[in-house]
Homo-oligomer: A and B are copies of this chain.
Amino acid sequence: MTPTATVTRFIELICLGRLEEAAELTAEDITYHNLPMPPVFGRADMAAVLGGVCQLADEVDWVVHHQAEVGTVVLNERTDRFRRGDHWYEIPVMGSFTLSNGLITRWSDYFDLAQFTERFEGFFAAQ
C-alpha cells in the first residue's frame, strides 16, 4: 500500500471500530502526538489513548476533507466526529503521518484543546 492508502485504511478501521486492526498498521515504536498534550510512545499506549475516546462513542466518523502525500509523509485536514446517543461531538483537526516499511511511525494531530474540551462537554460523562 502507498502511504496515502495506509492512512486512509487506518482511518477507515478506526471508524469501523476495528481498533486492533488499525493498530496493526502502526509501528511498535510509534510516536502519537496530540500536539496540545505530551506525546505518547508505543503502539499499546497509542491504542489505549485512541480507544479511550473511540470506545465511548456509539459511532465514529472522521471526515477527511483533504489529504496529500509527500515522500513518506501524509498530511490531512479532517473533522473528527463521535456520536454518543443522539449527539454528534465534532472537532476540526489536521494530522501528519510518517510511514516506514508500510507502517505509521509518527502520528501528530493538531487541534485546539480548549475547543475540544468545550465541544466534548458531556461526551466523557458516565451514562
Contacts and interface: CB of A to CB of B under 8 A. Distances in A.
B114 A113 contact: yes
Contact residues of A: prevailing secondary structure: strand
* A66, A92, A95, A114: most-surrounded residue (chain B CB, <10 A): A66
A121 to B, nearest CB: 17
**A interface, how many residues as a size bin?**
20 to 34
Copies of this chain per assembly = 2
A77 B98 CA distance: 12
A46 to B, nearest CB: 19
A2 interface: no
Given A66-B70, A73-B66, A75-B68, A96 B94 contact: yes
A96 B64 CA distance: 13
B93 A110 contact: yes
Contacts of A66: 70, 73, 75, 96
A37 to B, nearest CB: 9
24 contacts: A35-B112, A35-B115, A36-B112, A36-B115, A66-B73, A66-B96, A67-B70, A68-B69, A68-B70, A68-B75, A75-B75, A75-B77, A77-B94, A77-B96, A77-B108, A77-B110, A93-B110, A94-B96, A110-B110, A110-B111, A110-B112, A111-B112, A112-B112, A114-B114
